[in-house]
Amino acid sequence: MPADGRKKQDRKDSQLIIRINKADRDAFVDLCETLDTSAAREIRRFIREFTLSHQDAPDDTGASTQPKEKEPDTWPKKRKSKSSKKK
């Protein structure tokens, strides 16, 4: 067993490099710090959950076999706010 106590198969031995907008990155990192977590931890958690949710996909598209909720036939109409009415 490694000196740090982790099993060999649990070690992180690969990188995923992505390019994102600086403002999005900064907002994400700031939110992670506020929530007392790390950006890397949250991205790893997302990847695990995403791959688990798609592992029962019928083909290579990644489409889930879970039925989607039916959209309503008519959507509610948008209501105008009182402040937008002319006086």
The predicted-structure confidence for 22-75, as pLDDT tens digits, reads as follows: 999 999 999 999 999 999 999 999 999 999 999 887 666 655 555 555 555 665
The predicted pLDDT at position 12 comes to 84
Instruction: Kindly report whether the global pTM for this prediction surpasses the value 0.85.
Output: no
Question: What's the whole-number mean pLDDT along residues 73-86?
Answer: 58
Rounded to a whole number of angstroms, the distance between the first and last alpha carbons of the chain is: 75
Hey, how many other C-beta atoms are within 10 angstroms of the C-beta on 43? 14
Measured CA to CA, the distance from residue 27 to residue 8 in angstroms comes to: 34
Q: According to the model, what pLDDT value does residue 17 have?
A: 95
